[in-house]
């Protein structure tokens, strides 16, 4: 069992073995679930939460007379956690910040986590991003090339202040480049990175200060597409609201790009709330779309997204029209062990996929306090398949559907 002291130093307990959590239930650690802690992962102390011992499933609140706390890992991109950290909360425990908390254990003297690499694409491997000197050199050059472009200024903030690896890729001319465009949103998601109201949770990053014009958007898209093989440019980022709120301007920007080149994959990450707006973007030349879901169950979806002026059926309509338009369609499915793989959720997911044969599921860890999430959506614990078993079942049932983490280029559609 791993634990923290009050200063955040991590220790291996000499006697207690570790446990994990699935939903709200404690479970034993199984060797086949474990991977060495991936490079670039970070560790977090869990305030006013005590680690749980794996034989008795009881909390351990002190060691050698000193108070101890639970610890968790936040995994590098491309990895999917399979179990949560096991802990018991104090009554005064604060809400956890917006990270995806993964179990953490010692195996020998090394850290291990319950996780699996879900996408072999190297685009966000930490080793590729230990090059700040090169980054700042190219930022200087691109700022000089586009001195008045507000979107370039936003991407500078994202790549430096927020450490966004996607934004760094824009300046380093590789892989996928983000195209944030929109300040407003028509949902109040529990786990929104850029806007929180009365939750007590601080945002991870602020929304862009200025909405770029269609011409500025097209300029950034063309800069990336013309310099990168198999380039992807994507609307809908963590530093913005819902891109379909600016569908008219985005469609205009897409048309400006497509007048000059057919190269590059133009992609949108969206909540899928406005089918007519999505149609406008598809007609303009959108190549792929990724629709976000925390659950295929309407009640859980609504309690998480808290939509304003749209309904779950609008999301379904958007997915249906995108499939009919024959663009590449992904689900951005937020995974939380014990919920996503719960028996009723799996049944609903299969019914959903039978109805909407999407091209890909992007398996993303849900960044939120697990207890806050489960309590707020009103989930009652039930038996779960296990994340690995769920994914194996999905692959067997839908062999033509991809599982992954990143938006693929159209050359691989």
Among 117, 152, 183, identify where a domain stops.
117
Same domain membership, residue 299 and residue 401: yes
Q: How confident is the model at residue 100 (pLDDT cuts 50, 70, 90)?
A: very high
Of the candidates 117, 145, 166, which is a domain's last residue?
117
Return the pLDDT at 365. Answer: 98
Return the minimum-mean-pLDDT range out of 13-22, 122-131, 168-177, 402-411. 122-131
| Band of pLDDT at residue 198, cut at 50, 70 and 90 | confident
Q: What is the pLDDT of residue 123?
A: 86
Q: Do 141 and 184 share a domain, yes or no?
A: yes
The one-character DSSP state at 32 is G
The structure tokens listed for 182 are 């929109």
d(C-alpha 304, C-alpha 295), whole Å: 9
Angle between the N-to-C axes of helices 132-145 and 150-160, in degrees from 0 to 180, rounded to the nearest 10: 170
Percent of the chain with pLDDT over 70: 100
Whether the predicted pLDDT of 308 surpasses 90: yes
| Cβ atoms of 200 and 233 closer than 8 Å | no
Indicate whether this model's pTM tops 0.75: yes
| Cα–Cα nearest to 103, from 141, 62, 75 | 75
Question: What percent of the chain has pLDDT above 90?
Answer: 96
379 Cβ contact list (under 8 Å, min separation 6): 23, 300, 339, 342
Which pLDDT tens digit goes with each residue over 249-301?
Answer: 999 999 999 999 999 999 999 999 999 999 999 999 999 999 999 999 999 99
- Cα separation, 222 vs 36, in Å, equals 40
Same domain, 281 and 352: yes
Q: How confident is the model at residue 413 (pLDDT cuts 50, 70, 90)?
A: very high
- Domain that residue 157 falls in: 126-412
Q: Residue 322's domain is classified under what CATH number?
A: 3.20.20.70
Looking at the structure, tell me whether residues 73 and 134 fall in a common domain: no
Residue 45's pLDDT is 97
pLDDT tens-digit map of 341-382? 999 999 999 999 999 999 999 999 999 999 999 999 999 999
Residue 125 has pLDDT above 90, yes or no: no
User: Does one domain contain both 107 and 145?
Assistant: no
CB 187 within 8 A of CB 242: yes
Query: Average pLDDT of the chain?
Result: 97
C-alpha span between 65 and 11 (Å, rounded): 15
First to last CA, the chain: 44
> How many Å apart are CA 107 and CA 337, to the nearest integer?
22
Please identify, among 55, 86, 117, the residue that sits at the C-terminal boundary of a domain: 117
| Angle at 226 (CA atoms; ends 211, 253), nearest 5 degrees | 30
Q: How many angstroms separate the CA atoms of 132 and 142, rounded?
A: 15
Q: CB under 8 Å to 132, separation ≥6 — which residues?
A: none
Number of domains present in the structure of the chain: 2
């Amino acid at each position: 069992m791993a634990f923290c002291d009050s200063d955040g130093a991590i220790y291996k307990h000499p006697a207690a073995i570790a446990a994990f959590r699935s939903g709200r239930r404690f479970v034993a650690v199984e060797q086949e679930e474990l991977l060495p802690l991936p490079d670039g992962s970070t560790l977090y102390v869990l305030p006013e939460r005590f680690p749980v011992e794996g034989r008795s499933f009881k909390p351990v609140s002190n060691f050698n007379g000193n108070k101890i706390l639970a610890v968790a890992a936040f995994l590098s991109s491309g990895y999917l956690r399979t179990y949560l950290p096991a802990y018991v909360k104090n009554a005064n425990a604060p809400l956890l910040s917006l990270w995806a908390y993964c179990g953490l254990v010692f195996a020998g003297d090394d850290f291990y986590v319950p996780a699996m690499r879900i996408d072999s694409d190297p685009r966000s491997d930490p080793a590729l991003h230990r090059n700040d000197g090169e980054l700042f050199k190219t930022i200087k050059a691109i700022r000089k090339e586009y001195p008045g472009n507000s979107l370039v200024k936003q991407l500078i903030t994202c790549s430096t202040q927020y450490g966004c690896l996607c934004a760094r890729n824009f300046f380093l001319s590789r892989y996928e480049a983000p195209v944030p465009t929109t300040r407003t949103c028509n949902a109040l998601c529990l786990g929104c990175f850029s806007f929180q109201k009365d939750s007590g949770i601080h945002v991870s990053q602020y929304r862009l200060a200025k909405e770029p014009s269609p011409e500025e958007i097209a300029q950034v898209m063309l800069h990336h597409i013309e310099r990168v093989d198999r380039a992807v440019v994507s609307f809908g980022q963590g530093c913005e609201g819902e891109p379909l709120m600016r569908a008219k301007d985005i469609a205009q920007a897409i048309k400006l790009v497509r007048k000059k080149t057919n190269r590059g994959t133009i992609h949108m990450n969206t909540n899928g709330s406005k089918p007519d707006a999505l149609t406008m973007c598809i007609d303009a030349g959108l190549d792929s779309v990724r629709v976000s879901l925390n659950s295929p169950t309407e009640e859980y979806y609504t309690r998480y997204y808290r939509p304003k002026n749209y309904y779950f059926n609008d999301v379904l309509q958007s997915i249906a029209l995108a499939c009919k338009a024959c663009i590449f369609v992904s689900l951005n499915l937020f995974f939380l062990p014990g919920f996503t793989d719960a028996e009723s959720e799996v049944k609903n997911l299969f019914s959903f996929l039978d109805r909407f044969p999407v091209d890909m599921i992007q398996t993303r860890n849900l960044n939120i306090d697990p207890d806050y999430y489960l309590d707020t959506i009103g989930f009652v614990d039930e038996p779960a398949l296990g994340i690995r078993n769920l994914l194996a079942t999905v692959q067997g049932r839908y062999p033509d559907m991809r599982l992954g983490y990143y938006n693929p280029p159209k050359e691989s559609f």
